[in-house]
Amino acid sequence: MHRHPPGFRGLLLALATLTAAVGLAVVVGVLLFWLVRVWVHDLPNYLLLLTTGLALLPMLVLFRRRFPFLSDWYYLLPATLFLLAFTVYPIVLTMALAFTNFSGKNYGRPDRATETAVTFVAPDTLRFPSDPARALQCGDSCVGAQLEVYRGNDRARQTVTGEGSTTLTLNRAPAFATSTQAGQLYVARISNYHFIGFRNFTFILSNAATSLWPVFRWNVVFAAGSVLLTALMGLILGVVLNDAKLRLRNFYRTALIISWALPNIITIQMWNALLNQQFGAVNRLLGLLGIYSIPWLTQTDWAKLGIILVNLWLGFPFMMTATLGALSTIPNELYESAQIDGASPWQAFRGITLPLVRTAFTPVLLTSFAFNFNNFNLIYLLLPQGGPAIPGGMATANSTDILISWAYKTAFRSEGGSAYGLGSAIALIIFVVTVGISLINFNLTGAFKEEAR
């Protein structure tokens, strides 16, 4: 085997050579793509991936000749590339957007309400029919503003460097300025987004009392409540179903697992209909028992209870299966010897079943908490129009919203008006919170102290 250079320097060297190999492959891939485009026009851009991949193979072989130790690293390369593209890049982008005012309104695209027909005086100078600052709604002066200049399908982005009474000078002439193609020339001001520092965060904190804290509190209560209830129910059912004396227990197992087996996208929306106050099956059944018209989904406390109950229905089969799995690992001899020693079934349960199930159960509970903390499907699909409003709260944060649904509604629903920057800021808060919760969890469970045990 070829020796890998030792220590931190070796790691850096390996990473640098790998980056160089991939970077060179990208350069060759782009060149290859351009070369093919000379013959085949309208080449779809995704073919860049193919040409880069083609260039990467010989590049890796070449680099291995020069740096033989790299072959170990090639095993990690695909996973690393995917991690960079689909995990690191979105996180970095979210962090960057959280400090901008990027939104449907500030979108980095030309505001068509400012579209003005213009003519070229010189290749880099435009003549306006009237005052350019007025036509383009620049405020006092258009200098520094970004413009889109377009004619037919030709477009160019330019910055204004000078201003006359009816003319604007651009930083450089658009590429199509000298072409003789016919058609009217237009210009529109680009509504750019820019860095705004911590403004998104101060906005969220200024609404903390009516939006951030209620949403966060409910988020924790919802996740913890769901985990505890599903675990309790799953445990009880698992222990009952594990009893060999129970007849038809395979039938019960199958029947009880149905709510987990069905796609929750569908079942959650069915629960929305079932819980309708006037016409839902749940209230009709309760009506037969003499309990009238519970405002599931329309009154804050009932809606929260409704969500937790639906989540119990959705979640207990998972816990039940986990319990059955854990129970099957407990050897029967333990129970037999307990019986011989004269232990009651309850003593056997407390002394044998619970402690042995607990070790298998702890990671399941943590996973379940992490899953429910960001359980977007349930919250958003059960109350698609948003739950009951919080008095004085933001329209995107209703009383049943959790952080993730709040971020989604801010960025992608009409209530939020496509406020991507603000939505990213909320997502960043979720990120910080979940990292904090995970650290606490790791500490409590000693997940990182595996070797010390």
User: Should residue 434 be labelled a site residue for other proteins when binding is judged by CB under 8 A?
Assistant: no
Query: What 3-state DSSP class applies to 105?
Result: coil
- Cβ-proximal residues to 97 (8 Å cutoff; 6+ apart), any chain: 420, 421, 424
Q: Tokens 């990120």 appear where?
A: 431
Among positions 212, 297, 310, 430, the unique one binding other proteins when judged by CB under 8 A = 297
Among positions 388, 401, 402, 408, the unique one binding other proteins when judged by CB under 8 A = 388
**Closer Cβ to other proteins, 52 or 396, answer by number:** 396
d(CA 348, CA 330): 12
Which among 57-65, 236-244, 291-299, 320-328 is the span making contact with other proteins, rule CB under 8 A? 291-299
**Closer Cβ to other proteins, 206 or 254, answer by number:** 206
Restricted to residues 150-179, the positions that interact with other proteins (CB under 8 A) are 153
Instruction: Find the shortest distance in angstroms from Cβ 389 to other proteins.
Output: 4
The β-bridge partners of 127 are 119, 167
What is the x/- site pattern for other proteins, positions 30-69, by CB under 8 A? ----------------------------------------
Contact 123, 203 (CB under 8 A): no
Among positions 8, 46, 86, 279, the unique one binding other proteins when judged by CB under 8 A = 279
Instruction: Find the shortest distance in angstroms from Cβ 393 to other proteins.
Output: 7
Which among 53-61, 84-92, 165-173, 407-415 is the span making contact with other proteins, rule CB under 8 A? 407-415
Which of 411, 453, 422, 30 lies closest to 206 in space, CA to CA?
Answer: 422
Which of 111, 132, 137 lies closest to 193 in space, CA to CA?
Answer: 111
Size of the site for other proteins (CB under 8 A): 52
Burial (CB count <10 Å: 0-12, 13-18, 19+), residue 444: exposed
d(CA 17, CA 46): 26
Among positions 368, 398, 400, 405, the unique one binding other proteins when judged by CB under 8 A = 398
User: Should residue 381 be labelled a site residue for other proteins when binding is judged by CB under 8 A?
Assistant: no
- Cβ-proximal residues to 28 (8 Å cutoff; 6+ apart), any chain: 52, 55, 59
Contact 176, 156 (CB under 8 A): yes
d(CA 207, CA 205): 5
Instruction: Find the shortest distance in angstroms from Cβ 131 to other proteins.
Output: 14
- The amino acid sitting at 277 is Q
Among positions 43, 324, 348, 395, the unique one binding other proteins when judged by CB under 8 A = 395
Query: What 3-state DSSP class applies to 184?
Result: coil
What is the x/- site pattern for other proteins, positions 92-121, by CB under 8 A? ---------x-xxx-x-xxxxxxx-x----
Contact 325, 360 (CB under 8 A): yes
User: Should residue 419 be labelled a site residue for other proteins when binding is judged by CB under 8 A?
Assistant: yes
**Closer Cβ to other proteins, 63 or 176, answer by number:** 176
Among positions 146, 161, 259, 298, the unique one binding other proteins when judged by CB under 8 A = 298
User: Should residue 416 be labelled a site residue for other proteins when binding is judged by CB under 8 A?
Assistant: yes
Instruction: Find the shortest distance in angstroms from Cβ 432 to other proteins.
Output: 21
Among positions 161, 228, 270, 415, the unique one binding other proteins when judged by CB under 8 A = 415
Rounded to the nearest 5°, which phi and psi values hold at 69?
-65, -15
Contact 211, 397 (CB under 8 A): yes
Rounded alpha-carbon distances, angstroms, from residue 235 to 230, 276, 326, 349, 353: 8, 31, 10, 12, 11
Restricted to residues 176-205, the positions that interact with other proteins (CB under 8 A) are 184, 188, 190-191, 203
d(CA 373, CA 85): 25
Among positions 412, 432, 436, 440, the unique one binding other proteins when judged by CB under 8 A = 412
- Under the rule (CB under 8 A), what is the footprint of other proteins? 101, 103-105, 107, 109-115, 117, 137, 148, 153, 184, 188, 190-191, 203, 207, 276-280, 293, 295, 297-300, 385-386, 388-389, 391-396, 398, 412, 414-419, 422
